[in-house]
A and B are shown apart, each in its own frame.
Chain A
Amino acid sequence: MSVVLADLAYWQETTIRLVVGLIAVLLPAGTLVYLFLFKMMSFMQSRLGPMEAGPYGSLQLLAEVGKFLQKEDIVPQAADRLIFKLAPFVVLISTFLLILVIPAGPDLWFIDVDTGIFLGLAVSSISVIGILMAGWASSSKYSLLGALRATGQLIAYELPMVLAVVGVIIQAGTLNVQEIVMAQATGEIFGFGGIGNPYVITQFVGFLIFLIAVQAELTQPPFDMPVAESELVTGYLTEYSGLRFLMFFIGEFATAAIFSALAATLFLGGWYVPGLEATDNLFNVIGPIILLGKMLLVAFFIFWFRFTYPRFREDQLQQLAWKVLIPLSLVNIVITGVLKVVF
């Protein structure tokens, strides 16, 4: 994108970036909500889901947004008003910053920094602050418990996530996301370069750990203890209504979309499909669609787990993170490192 925008005025460039950014966040999020939350979940439960708004209920999401916009924006009397109102924005900001690092084609990216993946994983943690703000400012015990659980969980699962990515970084030899994609496109598996080298094959353990960690970062079942609706009502979201709840909702699903896209980029080859030259200009057109397809594939698994499993207890999910996932990912790093040196 930077190449395309090079000759435009600063304000034009900014506007275009803003619009594309909004589309890049909202469109995949909406697709996820409609395809998976509305339809797949319903089909897995022998029902059809929304069918009235638009053909096959495809406009249901707009109806829901309309509903949320109409609702009263309630702030509890004892709440810390400023913090309470700010919290959803903080969560959304982390989502919007995260999209920056994911390239959608050889020349399509928002920013091209050498430490792209590092930046992405770092900004993804900002949402913890927003959640903690929401939980504390709500002045509700359920919210507080939910926020504290969320904080503990997000911090615990940030580690295996980063460590799982380290394997990819070692193999690709770079922190730049675009170069990681290129490395997968041009790579070879034991001398066979027909399909490139999507790291899901060589880094399968890392991929699994990454998926589990993503599931936990999104606070989705089986890791939805922070919002466990049967015990904490909805955790840190309990006191939110109307537009602010909608923002949390968008944040949740946009993050799900972006993390899926990140997983697709790091492990499934991103915008690249085998058969074409990686520098082919065609990828600037079909790249986003390929990325969307791969993202939906990853998201399918995330949501499949979500609709099937009951949730872990707080101590159990901490044990899973510290006693299983982190040692496993450390072993993975060591093996990757050794193999990298050997081959």
Chain B
Amino acid sequence: MSDTADTKQMAYIAAQAADARVNLEIETEGMTLNIGPQHPATHGTLRIVVRLDGEQVISAEPLMGYMHRGYEKLTEVRTYPQVTTLVNRIDWLGSFANEVPFILAAEQLMEVEAPPRAQWIRTALFEMSRIANVVLFLGDMGVQLGAVTPVFFAFRDREFILNQIEAVTGGRFHPNFDRIGGLKDDLPKGWIDETRGVLKRIRNFCDEIETLVVGNEIFQSRTRNIGVIPADIGLSYGLSGANIRSSGVDWDIRRDGGVGLVHNELDWKVWTHPDGDSFARFWVRLQEVRESCTMIEQILDGIPSGPVMAKVPRIIKVPAGEAYVETENPLGVMGYYVISKGDLTPFRVKIRSASFNNVSITPWLLKGVYVPDVISILASLYFILGDIDR
């Protein structure tokens, strides 16, 4: 953490505290408010213990682990094909994207590469899971700020994306479609045309959100200059994804050295926003959904023909070695560090999930804000509980 920003923050708090204690007689004891583990705003079981002075937060501490499911340990007793079943339950909204980095790491160890057609379809599904994930965020942010309608729009239009994912993979939420060396199956007939129609709906949804939420003056007053993350602080806390891009850091693994996916063959743009506040985080994600739509459209036009599965043995034994692969998942950078000893099962898997780091900035970020802003900041950081606790 940079010292200057911290000192600034401390000075601000000191000034606020001094204001509050002008008259010693009305000085009050702080109150500890326990937000969570069961609370409407924590979308799961995140617990945040905040010390309050009136409505102002003195300190906040996120306590994680209420949903720890032990995936890193479980992978040690599962064969490689079984692991994909488990890991797509980490970030349950964009589940296909969870499988990709693990499969890529395993492919790297086995020195196989998926055929081009498989890579293109993989990228399309990867981006579709991003849309499914972020569309819900765009609606959910409204709910956290008190507008009930956007989330229903989000559920309505996410349904179409999920239908398309289901038509290919057979699973709406847990596709388990990636295989080492390619994909389980090819696209069904008529899927490409249907998907084009769905993308039009998603764009339409983005426009609706733009007028209903982004353009709303109340929304802007609730999010602008709230929860500002300077770029250096964000980087030092390990923030990634749209959270750091909205602080003006132009960093996207899809463009900067992604392996195994075909983002570099597409024409798209990495969106950033200079402000770093809640509004910027919302806005960047909104643009990313649109960008994903253009990406998928290009993929639909350009899918090469060929097989979808490389030659891999029926019983998969991964040769000994280590591999770390990370991809730009909907929530941020997700990486799998796989160590293999040549067995049927991985020896050790370390999962770097984006939400864990994204939430870890909250003690710094929540100092000095008001209780309503705690919620809007948490919502704009956008975490999935499964992604924090794994």
- Touch between chains A and B, by CB atoms below 8 Å: yes
- Min CB distance A212 to B, Å, is 12
CA distance A312 to B220 in the complex (A): 10
Chain A residues, CB < 8 A from B371 = 145, 231-232
Q: Assuming the A-B contacts A222-B218, A231-B41, A314-B372, are A308 and B153 also in contact, with contact meaning beta carbons closer than 8 angstroms in the complex? A: no
Q: Is B320 positioned at the interface, with any CB of A under 8 Å from its CB?
A: no
Say yes or no for B375: interface residue by CB 8 A criterion. yes
Chain A residues with CB under 8 A of B156: 45-46
Considering only CB atoms, which chain A residue lies closest to B157 in the complex? A46
B219 within 8 A of A: yes
Residue of B whose beta carbon sits closest to that of A224: B146
Within 8 A of A (CB), among B327-371: 370-371
B198 to chain A, nearest CB (A): 16
When distances are taken between beta carbons in the complex, the residues of chain B under 8 Å from A173 are: none
What range describes how many residues of B lie at the interface? 20 to 34
Answer whether A145 and B152 are a contact pair too, CB < 8 Å, given A230-B144, A233-B39: no
Question: Does B270 sit within 8 A of A, measured CB to CB?
Answer: no
Q: Does A141 contact B (CB under 8 A)?
A: yes
Which residue of chain B has its CB nearest to the CB of A42?
B152
Contacts of B149 in A (CB 8 A): 44-45, 307-308
Given contacts A312-B218, A313-B372, contact A222 B146 (CB under 8 A): yes
B218:A229 contact, CB within 8 angstroms: no
Q: How far is the CA of A228 from the CA of B371 in the complex (A)?
A: 11
Contact between B221 and A316 (Cβ–Cβ < 8 Å)? yes
Q: Which residues of B contact A311 (CB under 8 A)?
A: 145-147, 218, 222, 372
Is B187 among interface residues, defined by CB-CB distance under 8 A?
A: no
B31 at the binding interface (Cβ < 8 Å): yes
The residue in chain A whose Cβ has the minimal distance to the Cβ of B140 is A230
Contact in complex: A309, B153 (CB < 8 Å): no
B257 CB to nearest chain A CB (Å): 38
User: By the criterion CB–CB under 8 Å, are B372 and A45 in contact?
Assistant: no
The yes or no answer to B307 lying at the interface (CB within 8 A) is no
* B-chain residues with CB within 8 Å of residue A221 when the two chains form the complex: 146-148
> Which B204-227 residues sit within 8 Å CB-CB of chain A?
212-213, 216, 218-219, 221-222
In the complex, per-residue mask of A25-45: 1 if CB is within 8 Å of any chain B CB, else 0 = 000000000000000010011
Q: Is B142 an interface residue (CB 8 A)?
A: yes
B 28-41 to A, binary, CB cutoff 8 A, 1 in contact else 0: 00010111000111
Is the CB of A310 closer than 8 A to any CB of chain B?
yes
Q: How far apart are A159's CB and chain B's nearest CB, in angstroms?
A: 21
Main secondary structure of the interface of B (DSSP, over half): helix
Count of interface residues, chain A, beta-carbon cutoff 8 Å: 28
Within 8 Å of chain B (Cβ to Cβ): is A225? yes
In the complex, whether A52 has a CB less than 8 A from a CB of chain B is: no
Contact among B34, B153, B222, B374 with A45 in the assembled complex (CB-CB below 8 Å) = B153
Is there a chain A Cβ closer than 8 Å to B277's Cβ?
A: no
Taking A228-B372, A230-B375 as contacts, is the C-beta distance between A314 and B147 under 8 angstroms? no
Closest approach, in angstroms, between the C-beta of A150 and any C-beta of chain B? 13
Contacts of B213 in A (CB 8 A): 310
In the bound complex, residues from chain A placing their C-beta under 8 Å from that of B148 are: 41, 45, 221, 307
Bitwise interface map of A from 285 to 319 toward B, beta carbon under 8 Å scored 1, else 0? 00000000000000000000001111111111000
Inter-chain contact B147/A310, CB cutoff 8 Å: yes
CB distance from B184 to the nearest CB of A (A): 33
Q: Are A313 and B147 in contact (CB under 8 A)?
A: no
Closest to A316 in B: B221
Q: Among A47, A142, A231, A308, point to the contact of B372 (Cβ < 8 A).
A: A231
Contact A310 B145 (CB under 8 A): yes
A256 to chain B, nearest CB (A): 16
Q: Cβ of A313 and Cβ of B33 under 8 Å apart?
A: no
Minimum CB–CB distance for A232 against chain B, Å = 8
Chain A residues 24-77 with CB under 8 Å of chain B are 41, 44-47
B55 interface hit (Cβ, 8 Å):
yes
In the complex, what residue of chain B is closest to A221 when comparing beta carbons? Answer: B146
* Beta-carbon nearest neighbor of B371 in chain A: A231
Shortest Cβ gap from A33 to chain B (Å): 15
Closest approach, in angstroms, between the C-beta of A9 and any C-beta of chain B? 50
Contacts of B41 in A (CB 8 A): 230-231
Residue of B whose beta carbon sits closest to that of A308: B149
Q: Would B40 and A310 count as touching, CB distance under 8 A?
A: no
* A298→B144 CA distance, assembly (Å): 27
Residue of A nearest to B146 (CB): A311
Beyond the given A309-B146, A310-B145, A313-B373, please list 8 additional residue pairs across the A-B interface where CB-CB is below 8 A.
A45-B149, A45-B152, A45-B153, A221-B148, A308-B147, A310-B146, A310-B213, A314-B55
Residues in chain B within 8 A of chain A (CB atoms): 31, 33-35, 39-41, 55, 142-149, 152-153, 156, 212-213, 216, 218-219, 221-222, 370-375, 379
Can you list 30 pairs linking A and B with CB atoms under 8 Å apart? A41-B148, A46-B156, A47-B152, A141-B31, A142-B33, A221-B146, A221-B148, A222-B218, A225-B372, A230-B41, A230-B143, A230-B375, A230-B379, A231-B35, A231-B40, A231-B371, A233-B39, A308-B149, A309-B146, A309-B216, A310-B142, A310-B213, A310-B218, A310-B219, A311-B146, A311-B147, A311-B218, A313-B221, A313-B370, A316-B221
Interface residues, chain A, CB within 8 Å of chain B? 41, 44-47, 141-142, 145, 221-222, 224-225, 228-233, 307-316
